[in-house]
Structure 1
Amino acid sequence: MGNRNWIPVRAAQGVHSRQAHADLPEGTYEREISKEGFFGPAAFIHHRRPPTGWTSFEGPLRPRAFDLARLNAAEPSPWAAGKVLYNAAVEVRFWKLAQAMPALARNADGDQLLFVHQGTGDLFCDYGRLAYGPGDYLYLPRGTMWRLAPAEPTAVLMIQATNTHFGLPDKGLLGGHALFDPAILETPALDDAFRAHQAQEGEFRVEIKKRGEVSVVTYPYNPLDAVGWHGELAPVRLNVKDIRPVASHRYHLPPSVHTTFLSDRFVVCTFTPRPFETDPGALKVPFFHNNDDFDEVLFYHAGDFFSRDHIEAGMMTFHPSGFTHGPHPKALKNMLVQPKPATDEYAVMIDTRDPLEVGEAAASVENPAYVDSWKTP
C-alpha cells in the first residue's frame, strides 16, 4: 500500500530488547514507530513510563469515541443514514432499519460492505437471496440492486469503497486457506423465497446514489427478475465466526494480520476471539504505537474488548494519525500476565491512508471524556 523504497537503517542504542514485543527491559514500556501502518520499517523505543500518560490533550488530534447505538432513528433508505466518518476514498455510515426497505438501493459510487451488528432477515438482490444475521459481512459489488427485509430490527455498519472495489489480502506464507477458506463465502440463491419476492406486483423504486446524491428510477414491475446468472462477480456473505485468526504464543502480532478486506486506500480488519500469548516474556496486550500513516477506527460488535475500558457494543473509537496510543491503564496491569486464557471480542477495524472527517451523525453521539480514559486512575 505504498512506496517500498526505504532509507536503510540498522542501529541500536542503550538498553533494549532483542525481539520486538517480547522480553522488554525490566520496568520499561515499548513504543513502536513504523511506516505503512505495520507493514514497513519500524523502530522500538523503550520508555520508563507509559507513552500515553498525558494529563491533558487539547486540539483536534485527540482520540474520539462515539456511541453509535444511541443513533435511534430507523431510516427506510440506507442513503438517509447519517455519515459517521468519511474521506474521498471511504464512507462509513451507521444504519438502523425496522421494516423492509420500501425501495431498492443501488450504489453507483463504489462497492458496498454491510456489517450486520444486530438483527436477522433477508437480503434480496440482482443475484438472488442471502439470509443475514449478527456478525455477517455482506459484500455488494458496485451497481448491485438490493433491499433488506428484516425479520427483526436491524443495525448495520456500512462501509463504501468510493470509486473502487474490495478485495482479499495476500495471505503469503500462510496459504490461501488461512483466516478463512474462500469456499466459506456464500453467494445468493435463486430459491423459493427469492421467487416469491419476484412475484410481488406493482411499482418498484430504485434509489441510486452517485456522487453523494440520490436519483430515483421507477419500474412498473420488480426489476429483480433474474432467472439465472454466472460469472466471477457476485455478492457474498462472510460471518465473523467463520474467521479463524492467526495467533502466536510467543509474539503479540500486529492488527494487520487480521485484515479481512482490502481497498485502494484503506483496509478492513476483523478481531475475533483468540488465545493469549503464553510465552512468559511476550506482550499480552496491544503495544503502544504511533499510527502516523493511517487513521484508525474500531467498531465494537460484541464481547469484552480487553485493551479498552468503558467500551460497549455499538461504540466506535477514532484515533487520527499523528499521536501515540495503546492499551488503557487497566489493561497495562495484564501486560505480561493475563488472568484469562483468551480474548472475548468481535470488532471491525478500518485503517485509512487519508485523514477522515467526522460526520454529523457521529458528532451527535460523541463521548468527549474518552481522551481522559488513558489517565492513571
Structure 2
Amino acid sequence: MARSHDVSLPRIEGRSSRQAHADLPEGTFERELGREGFFGPATMMYHTHPPTGWTSWSGPLRPRAFDLAAIGDLGPGVWDAPAILHNAHVRMRFWRLAGDMDHLARNADGDELLFVHSGAGHLYCDYGHLEFGTGDYILLPRSTMWRIEAARPVELLLFEATGGALRTPDRGLVGRHALYDEAVLDTPAIDEAFKAQQGEREWRVVIRRRGELSCVVYPFNPLDAVGWHGDLVPVRLNVRDIRPLSSHRYHLPPSAHTTWVGSRFVICTFVPRPFETDPAAIKVPFFHNNDDYDEAVFYHSGDFFSRDNIHPGMVTLHPCGFTHGPHPQALKGMYKPRNAMTNEYAVMLDARDALDVGEAAKAVEFDGYAESWKTAGKVAAPAVE
C-alpha cells in the first residue's frame, strides 16, 4: 500500500476525466490500469469501444467460470473437500455435510476460514460451542480442533491461509467501527451444549500438516476445556452484519469491501448497498486491469447485476493479464440502474500470486464463459441523463 505522505502527480492526455469513475467523456468507456490491488499507481484510459469487446479467445489465459453446485461427491471428511483454486499462500475448497462429523479436524498448515453458503448447525472447538447459519464466516486460528453437527445440510466454502494467518483489514480514515463494529463478532461459549458433548468415549483428531494427514486417538473427548482467557479465539461474522462503505458520487473499488487479509491475498464481501446517485458517476464495476492479482468471485445469493447467466454456487476466475468488467447487458445501466440498490451477496478472493484450478473445478467448468462478452454489433456508451 502506498504511504500516506506520497504525492502523486498524474498527467492528462487527450479527452479525459479529471475524476476516476465519474464525468467520463461523452461516448467513452473507462478502463483502469492499476497496480497493487487498487492501492498502487493507476491510469484511467478512455475508449470508444468496451474494453471487453473481443470476438474470440485462444490460449490458456482466459476468464473462467465453475459451477460448484454441479460437483457430485465431495467426500465424507473435510480433508476430502476438493481444492477449487489454490496457490502457495491460499487454498479455496468446497464441502458438503449432511449430518455430524465423527472426528475432530485440526489444520496445522494455516488459519481456516469457513463461509456457510447454506445450512445451519453447531460448531464445537477447543474454545467452546458456536451456533452458525447461512452467510456466516467462521475464522478458526491455526491448529484449532473442531467439528460440526449439521442441523440442516451444510455447504461450506473454505479458505486456508497456508503458512500464515487471517486478520481484519486496516479501516484507515473511516475508523475502526466502519464496515462492522467488532462488537458483532461472536466467539464460542463454554455453555451447556459444550459441556454435554464432553465425555470419556474415544475420539479421533485428523491433523493436516504440509498437505499430509495424521491421526491422533484419545480415549476421551479432547474438547474438555472448562474455561479460557485471551485474544486468540475463533470468531463468527455474518454477512448481514456488514455495513458496506458507499459513495454517492464515486464507484468504490472492490478493495473498499475487504473483510479479511492474509499473506498475499485478501477476501472481500459484496453485500447490498445503494447505487451511486450522482448522474455522472458510473454505477457498474468499472473495466480494469488489476495486473498484480488474480480475482475469483463466489456468488452466494441475490441478483448479480454485473454478470449474465450466473447463479448461486458458481465461481468466476479472472486471472491478471487481461481486462475484465461488466457483461454487455450490465452496461445498459452504467448511468441509470434498474433499482436503487444492489441485491447481491458474494465473496471475492484477490490473490497476489497466480491461482491454479483444481481438478474438481475443471470438471464443472462453463467452457463458454470467455465468449459471454460477445455482442452482435458495436456497443455504444450510454449517455449521462
Q: TM-score range by the shorter chain?
A: over 0.9
Q: Report matched runs for 1:1-377 at 5 Å.
A: 10-199=10-199, 201-377=200-376
Q: CA deviation at 1:57?
A: 1.1
C-alpha separation in 2, matches of 1:335 and 1:260:
26
2:381 aligns with: none
Residue pair 1:186, 1:237 contacting (<8 A) in 2 also:
yes
Q: Secondary structure of the equivalent of 2:197?
A: helix
1:264–1:5 Cα change, 3 Å: farther
Q: Which amino acid aligns with 1:38?
A: F
Residue pair 1:74, 1:98 contacting (<8 A) in 2 also:
no
Structure 2 unpaired stretches of 5+? 377-385
Deviations 1:191-238 (A, max 9, x none): 111111113x42100010011111111111101000000101000000
Deviations 1:75-113 (A, max 9, x none): 331110111011000011001111111110000000000
CA RMSD of aligned residues (A): 1.5
C-alpha separation in 2, matches of 1:93 and 1:108:
16
Q: Which amino acid aligns with 1:105?
A: A
Q: Which amino acid aligns with 2:155?
A: A
C-alpha separation in 1, matches of 2:288 and 2:172:
25
C-alpha separation in 2, matches of 1:191 and 1:361:
39
Residue pair 2:2, 2:40 contacting (<8 A) in 1 also:
no
Q: Secondary structure of the equivalent of 2:338?
A: coil
Q: TM-score, normalised by structure 1?
A: 0.97
Residue pair 1:76, 1:99 contacting (<8 A) in 2 also:
no
Q: Which amino acid aligns with 2:113?
A: L
Q: TM-score, normalised by structure 2?
A: 0.95
Q: Which amino acid aligns with 1:179?
A: L
Percent sequence identity over aligned pairs = 62
Q: Which amino acid aligns with 1:100?
A: D
1:285–1:191 Cα change, 3 Å: same
Q: Secondary structure of the equivalent of 1:372?
A: helix
Residue pair 1:286, 1:307 contacting (<8 A) in 2 also:
yes
Deviations 1:106-126 (A, max 9, x none): 000000000000110000000
Q: Secondary structure of the equivalent of 1:366?
A: coil
C-alpha separation in 2, matches of 1:62 and 1:34:
19
Residue pair 1:309, 1:330 contacting (<8 A) in 2 also:
yes
Q: Secondary structure of the equivalent of 1:257?
A: helix
Q: Give the number of equivalent residue pairs.
A: 376
